[in-house]
Structure 1
Amino acid sequence: MLWLVGAGISGHRGLSLEAVQVLKKCDIVFVERFTSALSDSDLEGINAAIGKSAKPVQRWFVEDGREMLDAAKEKQVALVAYGDPLLATTHTELRARAAKASIETGVLHAASGITAIMGECGLHMYKFGRTVTMMSEPKSAVSVYNTVFDNLLLGSHTLILTEYSHDEKTGEPFFLDPTAVLKMLLDCERDLRHHVFSEETFVVVASRLGSSDSRIVSGRIKSLAGVGFGAGPHSVIVPAGLHFTEEEALEALTVCLDSPADNAASVKRISSQMIERYAPKAKEAVRHMRDILRKEGAKEKENNKGMHEVLDNAEYYIDDAERFLRQGKHELAVLSIGYAEGLLDALRFQKGINPWNP
């Protein structure tokens, strides 16, 4: 049998009475420390509680899983993990493999760091969107940036988990500092320019939840620049629109450096940004082209009749684009402004005049 056992968020002290009893009966106990931090002292505490030596294992061992599954066919085997054991996709996949191999499994749930972060900040859990992890690799920041952008468009908060790794040789843990997280996201803003992050963006940083020195700090990015967050693990929350009870909770339950703010207020869909940028330019191009045709005089009036009709259609498409945008039909809005610009470019090639540069 294979047991997946959660240790909760308080180290070995988070083990439930049931978990201790199950682990005492197991023939083999593995402890993984790659999903989050379980220190050497926690490992010693687990050993003392269950009366045997648990074996710490690396990520590859759990992902491979064959040794555990082979042993679980004949013996009682347990894998102890930080937080709740089924929040890690690696553990869920291991459980599914066990079921396919007709190996009985059991799950002992425990407190989850993810739900603890949401609750301790006082934010409403149902208002959170997709959770994402920020790694120290610069490419990771783009994915995080886009996830925050998508969540804000939906009016949802974003929980950003930060990189944790454990060097099996030195035993030293690495926690990505929140200051580095925010800097990478500001760098993304300079490249992508979707108005998601600025020095005024209000964020929440939760550190070491479940430990005696846990701390939650909230404020604008510029106010957090000089804060020392200490050892990890850390998580960052980017709130969207806040209910007044959430605002009150942030002010009461966190070290609140600034008044809570709605980060979603300044965020617009890319289609909205496009229409707002291109529609005025297209209207000006139409006016400029009409002025050119008008100046050619009555002699060319008949010849230019068809061109005026094309300009009429371009204006209709511009109006359609703005109407579709108001109706939330974003794809149709972009298509319409594209058709309008296409007609204007067709006239430009025919007349040899550039209406975009009056």
Structure 2
Amino acid sequence: MSLSLFSFLMTAPAAMAPPAQAAMPQPAAILADTRRVAEWQLANRTNWATMPAARKSVQEVRDWQQATFWVALTELANRDSAYAKPLLDLGRAEKWQMGDLPFHADDQLIGQAWLWAAQNGEGEEAVLPIRAYFDNVLSKRPTIGLEFVPVAPGKGTSTCTDRWCWCDALFMAPPTMLRLAKATGDKRYADFVHEEWKATTDYLFDPSEQLYFRDSRFFDMRDAKGRKLFWSRGNGWVMGGLVRLLQVLDKTDPQRHYYEKLFKDMSAKLVTLQKADGYWPASLLDQDQGTPPESSGTAFFTYAFAWGVDNGLLDRATYEPAAVRGWAALGRAVQPDGMLGWVQQVGDRPDSVSAKETQFYGSGAYLLAGTAMYDLAKKRSPEADAIRKSVR
């Protein structure tokens, strides 16, 4: 055993030790845990010490790092109206603007929170800046290729990011545009989503593994044991994006089957990669004993499984236990003060994690998992079971 692995095992017993068999928690307990993480994040919006690898852009509320949390908070607000006020206050202060980059998916995520606000009292005023932003995208639609060529050696940015050339983008942009299409009745936004999603998937999806490469740099990259590198959070972004797309895509839409099949195919692979402790490893094919817990990818997969079971897309017997184990693992990652730990910091590939490090997007993923688990648990509570039995 290496010294680094020995040190990790000595410092992470709480996050590593799974219960003998996780049971579905009560809905009230799930909601209380979800509120606790939300409250910590709201109270620590400028606590940069917990985000050591964060880019300076994390201080910008419309940047993807924060936007993930604000978008997730809309789901909690749907179940607890007390969380509507911070969202509406934020949107008014930001004048419902999108990010500053005209084509970058990361700057489009916050639009999901503003569209929620439009449906919750703010009306057309919250929609107009989003519509103007995406009308510009459509009128000057980028046609650059999807190959990820860094702008300089060692840099993680590329000019291809004017399109969805990295898998994270599938969480950031498509659900925003599809929600805009639904809010306005303008089919152009949905058509754009379907065309660009398929282009990204044709390029980055590995059909033999049913997983996405983060971007083209990883096609031929392998770890020390010769395994392909599929990043947990990267694939988590995709699964979260699929959920948020399927939530608003009409059940009769001819495009829906494509996304449902992709969601089911990825789920079938991912459920086999969950570790015994309930976490997914940062590098999904690294199933070696002693891989550290990582909460952001785990939260997205828990969210997807819980939502998929609750909405009849995933087999309950297979995926509900996986969702329950994932939620239990996430609970062990929450620190005594309510901070979600074990969040891999900003990056583009599997990396080190720490119990003492978090990020807005980690809290956001946790809130998405918590609200989906809450909905699922409500239908599995003794009261719901009694109702089901009474109508048989």
Q: Could you say which TM-score interval applies, normalised by the shorter chain? A: under 0.3
- The structure with more radius of gyration: 1
Which structure has the highest strand share of the two? 1
Which structure has the highest helix share of the two? 2
Higher relative contact order (CA 8 A, sep 6+): 2
Tell me the TM-score normalized by structure 1. Answer: 0.26
